[in-house]
Structure 1
Amino acid sequence: MEEAKGVVKHVFLAKFKDDVTPERIEELIKDYANLVNLIPPMKSFHWGKDVSAENMHQGFTHVFESTFESTEGIAEYTAHPAHVEYATLFLSYLDKVIVIDYKPTIVKL
């Protein structure tokens, strides 16, 4: 196995509060996606809703994944004023959150 060089994934699982409208969720996701245009070490952003048949989501409904160039890039992202402002707003709409940062490992068979 080999660790991918220069790549760190930031995975954010979320459950929105019950009273947040689908329209507001859509706006929040668009604003989250726009951070890739504002914060240079943030290289990509993907998101999706839980579609698992296993029903092991523990109430989490949305997955957000960002790619960074390094762990230092995540630190820069976390401290960036655009992220701080957005995160303060975004978190106020959430009931549950899990965040995991990891370096992908390539398995060669």
Structure 2
Amino acid sequence: MIRHIVLVKFQPDVTEEQISAIFSELHDIKAKLPGVLSITAGRSESPEQIERGYMHGFVVDFTDWDTLQAYQDHPDHKVLGGKLVANAIGGIDGILVFDLPIDQAAE
């Protein structure tokens, strides 16, 4: 399994409603792509408060690297990615992506 982790520093004028709408579009992709196991998105509620401005994020679990690639190539993902970049502080610089292979046998 591949865990795709995305953290976003949204511009201050982007409302929670706008962010929720973007995350809703993300959830819509799950129904269109086999191999998307789960999607979780939202605002950080960390008691540590060391997000360094990355107050929103999402995690998508994929069955494998091929499914992640299909997601990245999907036209809906490209539109969604454009919205994230347009609404992030500094564009692409306000987005952090981390892909982590998960050995489910070791969990």
Normalized against structure 1, the TM-score is what?
Answer: 0.83
The structure with the largest helix share of the pair is: 2
Counterpart in the other structure of 2:70: 76
Mapped partners of 1:81, 1:74: distance in 2: 13
Q: Which has the larger radius of gyration?
A: 1
The residue type paired with residue 32 of structure 2 is L
| Alignment partner of 2:102 out of 78, 92, 104 | 104
Mapped partners of 2:84, 2:54: distance in 1: 15
The structure with the largest strand share of the pair is: 1
After TM superposition, the structure 1 stretch with the greater mean CA deviation from structure 2, 92-101 or 36-45, is 36-45
Normalized against structure 2, the TM-score is what?
Answer: 0.84
* RMSD over aligned Cα atoms: 1.4
Counterpart in the other structure of 1:60: 54
Aligned residues: 101
**SS class of match (1:38):** coil
The answer to whether the 8 Å contact 1:8/1:67 transfers is yes
Q: Identify unmatched segments of 5+ residues in structure 1.
A: 1-6
Calculate percent identity across the aligned residue pairs. 24
Counterpart in the other structure of 1:18: 12
**Superposition misfits of 4+ residues, deviation over 4 angstroms:** none
